[in-house]
Chain A
Amino acid sequence: MTEMVYGTVPVRSSDPILPRWWQTIDRWSLTAILMLFGIGILLGLAASPPLAAKNGLAPFHYVQRQMLFGGMALVVMMVTSMMAPSLVRRLGVLGFLGAFAALVMLPVLGTDYGKGAIRWYSLGFASVQPAEFLKPGFVVIAAWLMSASQEINGPPGRLYSFIIAITVVGFLVMQPDFGQASLVLFGWGVMYFVAGAPMFLLLSMAGLVVFGGMFAYNNSEHFARRIDGFLSADIDPTTQMGYATNAIQEGGFFGVGVGEGQVKWSLPDAHTDFIVAVAAEEYGLILVLVIIALYMVITVRSLLRLMKERDTFIRLAGTGLACMFGVQAMINMGVAVRLLPAKGMTLPFVSYGGSSLIAGGIAVGMLLAFTRTRPQGEIIDHFARRGH
């Protein structure tokens, strides 16, 4: 007995970081994310040469950049996912403040790259889109405020978070960037929903959305045309939508073959918004189903893991990140198959784009950090129930 106690290795004051990380991380989601990154490179090889040719660059210029930014994104993701939730919260709030400042300064210092909307900062070698970085930070700060409001004598955090959301949305609409604005609004709404929004408020919000949609349909010609185009049974084959649908049909189950696709030459956004059409044409339904399954694994698994989470902040922030990630993928692919009206939205981790990749790395890193397995006080519960 004595020998057994004597000479034992002293208990280490802190855990080894990497093994602990590997034990607690959601390995399924991590695998899915790495596979998505690989698919992104693979599709970049197919989809971006036309763009490179158009801009007079080497055929795989954009693939190289994608690998560079993707590598950075993976590093950022790993580092973020190792952080403790409190550190993530701290950095997230700081990051939000920085990104918000950048967003506010956009009209003064930003550039529109000839696309009609000022969304980017040009750094010479690359461009930065503040809205992409704003999203994870916004989720963190909103979750923090909402969780604080659930403490006794806490601040009215829901109201504060709502004010922040509306402000951010206002700046995004000014650019204009309705896609990001609606994502921010959606993220806030999901967090509010999980934080315990009253049923009556949810129903009245749904009604408001319906009335808002009808109002927009009746008053905005642009909006009405998109909806009409979506609702009409036959597709105008000369629209992006028509090309995408045709590409999916051409691909069939096994695709037309690597590099044989045609849609990437016709669609200006083949490497971003319609990357799924390129995938469907060249690699067929199989790859598309794999992509869908990967997004589903990440989103649904994260949400299921968060169900067990007892910390309100972690639960809310994780929900916001997972849902924004999932809904972005869902909208992108839903547009390609005509389940949703046309709306430019990148496919996270697969579409080309530096900002989108790195910001996606941050967001997914945060999500992985929040979904790590950690003690949830089940033992206390156990004893407490016993005691009763």
Chain B
Amino acid sequence: MTRTPLRPLARILEARAKGENPDAIERANIRARHEVMRDKTRLRSEGRLLVLGAFFFCAFVVIGVRMGMLAASEPSEPQVAAASAHIVASRADIVDRNGRILATNLTTRALYAQPPVMIDKAGAARQLATIFPDLDEEKLLAQFTGNRKFIWIRKKISPEQMQAVHDIGDPGLLFGPREMRLYPNGKLAAHILGGASFGREGVNSAEVIGVAGVEKEFDDYLRDPAQDGKPLQLSIDLTVQAATREVLYGGMKLMNAKGAAAVLMDVHTGEIISMVSLPDFDPNTRPRVLTKGDAGDSPLFNRAVQGVYELGSVFKILNTAQALELGLVNPSTMIDTKGPLRWGRFKIRDFHNYGAQLSMTDVVVKSSNIGSAHVAQMIGAKRQRDFLGALGLLEATPVELVEASGAKPLLPKRWSELSTMTISYGHGLSTSPLHLAAAYSSILNGGLRVKPTLLRQTAPRMGERVVSERTSEQARSILRQVVVRGTASFGEVEGYAVGGKTGTADKPKPTGGYYKDKVVATFASVFPANDPKYVLIVTLDEPVETSGPKPRRTAGWTSVPVAAEIIRRVAPLLGLRPEVEPLQPTGVTLTSN
């Protein structure tokens, strides 16, 4: 940068020479320099002012556009929750394996009274008593004229009843909305579903809580709004359940039994397709719990799950399967059956005398207690106990019912050699029919442990192996022999190759010892025996078959025909194809001429 001097020497000297004041030159130069500087800053300021102007212009335009956008948009109602958070307040449905409704909700009304605003108390009480015959007119009137300000009259009323109450026209009779639990199938699957009742109650709503069965077991799940109303799907098949219940009910009546239970289980998954306990109840109007007498006789009692019985000879196949698995015997090994078998002061007898020896197969087919006891001795107490434990027979079933955990098998206090011998034919160890169904499934499905479940399974659950494939096949073959030529000959259902084992156990007296004329008759079956799909356990409590000259109580005469009828009914429903020999055309000659 070149500096321009304010007092250029040449001009100063020239000015002095002319006698002018040289300071004027300096002032003029300062002025000129200032002018230049001012022009420069002015230009810069002009530019910057333009920038500011543009900034304000843009800012105001942006505000205007934004105002326009806001004004053009729809005002939204202030909402606390986002619209997507849809809350399902009602209890989820329960459906069967095919999605058919087992339990759902129904909107109904509760009826209550506010005596202070009632006009005609006597008339209202009288008319209410005619609408609801179980209400007492005098008690109602006493309540209305008492000091109470608020009285619940009915928890649930039908639309017709509601209209009738409307017609009374009293302003003190009021209705509160209610969601009630409805079981459209009535008694079907009553023990599985259990029931529900109202928890905390208000005028405008009431909490529905499960009180038994899966309703209680899955109470949290069913009430969880996070599940978004997704129904709970059970493994039950409603059609099969209906058929099973109908046949079992008929069989129970025919065989004069006081109770009955049936469990139909998928051998591979442990899914309970059908489970019936009789007598039963309607979960819509759940009866009260018995306060006196044997709780086991209450209709609320689930015999299939809660009832632990000595189930008798049905255990023999478990014993045999273990012996086969351990290689102690093969199906044709001859077993000593000479009786009676004495053990201390205890004698083991057979129903008939089967001679000195029977093959392993025939011990089961003819149901020899003595033979089974000898085999059990070969196995020994510890190995037997471990095996039964592996089958899940020594602990409560893990099935998804609140009642299940309370139904623990009754074990002998000391697992002596005698216990080992009696348990081999099903005495001395009490289990529920459901236990037995799971144990049979485990042994007969190829040898993989299954656990009973009430929830629909989408894939087979591979449990640990309890017996080999070969043992499983041999056990099925033996069970098939029982039906073909043994104690369960009434169990034959043409085309379905039923195999099974009968069990007739004397009922223990509460005072000790056993009744002579009261039995629990059980038939544990598998079908089809060559390609196992289902296990069916049918248990009758105190059956008597009276068509013969003397009463017959053995399972072969009572449970087996009932079970066979059930299989005949449900196997087609389950989609099983009967294997029938093709008919030989007789009397028809094909000719070609």
Contact = CB atoms under 8 A, between A and B. Distances in A.
A194 B52 contact: yes
Contacts of A177: none
A43 to B, nearest CB: 15
B415 interface: no
A237 B77 CA distance: 9
A249 B63 contact: no
B75 A285 contact: no
A152 B29 CA distance: 12
A98 B61 CA distance: 38
Nearest to B44: A196
Secondary structure class of chain B's binding surface, majority of residues: helix
A303 B46 CA distance: 9
Interface in A240-299: 242, 245-246, 248-253, 280, 284-285, 288-289, 292-293, 295-296, 299
Contacts, number: 118
Contacts of A337: 63, 66-67, 70
Contacts of B34: 151-152
A127 B105 CA distance: 68
B64 interface: yes
**Which of B63, B66, B72 has the largest number of chain A CB atoms within 10 A?**
B63
B65 to A, nearest CB: 9
B588 interface: no
Interface string B30-50: 100110011001101110111
B73 interface: yes
B29 to A, nearest CB: 11
B50 A248 contact: no
A246 B59 contact: no
A190 interface: yes
B62 interface: yes
A292 B73 contact: no
Contact of B45 (A250, A296, A315): A315
B78 A242 contact: yes
B63 A339 contact: yes
A193 B50 CA distance: 12
A333 B63 contact: yes
Contacts of A195: 41, 45
A301 to B, nearest CB: 9
B64 A292 contact: yes
Contacts of A306: 49
B75 A288 contact: no
Contacts of B30: 152
A330 B52 contact: no
A111 interface: no
A326 B42 CA distance: 23
Nearest to A147: B41
Interface string A187-218: 00010011110000000000000000000000
B60 interface: yes
B62 A339 contact: yes
A339 B68 CA distance: 13
Given A292-B60, A315-B45, A249 B75 contact: yes
A253 B71 contact: yes
B343 interface: no
Contact of B70 (A196, A248, A292): A248
Contact of A152 (B33, B75, B78): B33
Nearest to A288: B67
Contacts of A323: 52, 56
Contacts of A338: 66
B75 A303 contact: no
Nearest to A308: B46
A289 B68 contact: yes
A303 B67 contact: no
B53 interface: yes
Given A152-B30, A326-B56, A307 B66 contact: no
Bin the interface of chain A by size. 35 or more
A299 B71 contact: no
A251 B68 CA distance: 11
Nearest to B33: A152
B45 to A, nearest CB: 5
Interface in B489-538: none
A284 B73 CA distance: 13
A334 B63 contact: yes
A300 interface: yes
A56 B355 CA distance: 116
B57 interface: yes
A284 B56 contact: no
Contacts of B56: 296, 299-300, 303, 323, 326-327, 330
A312 interface: yes
A310 interface: yes
A304 interface: yes
A346 interface: no
A246 B99 CA distance: 47
A292 B62 CA distance: 10
A303 B41 contact: no
A249 B70 contact: yes
B74 interface: yes
A284 B71 CA distance: 8
A23 interface: no
B192 to A, nearest CB: 47
A295 B61 CA distance: 11
A242 B70 CA distance: 12
A150 B41 contact: yes
B70 A245 contact: yes
A295 B45 contact: no
B66 A194 contact: no
Given A249-B73, A249-B75, A304 B62 contact: no
Nearest to A236: B78
Contacts of B64: 288-289, 292-293
Nearest to A276: B67
Contacts of A194: 45, 48-49, 52
A319 interface: yes
A80 B408 CA distance: 102
Contacts of B52: 190, 193-194, 303, 319, 323
A238 interface: yes
Interface in B181-198: none
Contacts of B78: 237-238, 242, 246
B60 A330 contact: yes
A375 to B, nearest CB: 15
A285 B67 contact: yes
A248 B71 contact: yes
A312 B41 contact: yes
B258 to A, nearest CB: 67
A323 B37 CA distance: 25
Nearest to A152: B34
Nearest to B31: A152
Given A300-B57, A319-B52, 6 more contacts: A280-B71, A288-B67, A296-B57, A304-B49, A337-B63, A337-B70
12 contacts: A152-B34, A196-B41, A242-B78, A252-B72, A289-B67, A292-B63, A303-B52, A304-B53, A307-B45, A307-B50, A330-B63, A337-B66
Interface of A: 150-152, 190, 193-196, 237-238, 242, 245-246, 248-253, 280, 284-285, 288-289, 292-293, 295-296, 299-300, 303-304, 306-307, 310, 312, 315, 319, 323, 326-327, 330, 333-334, 337-339
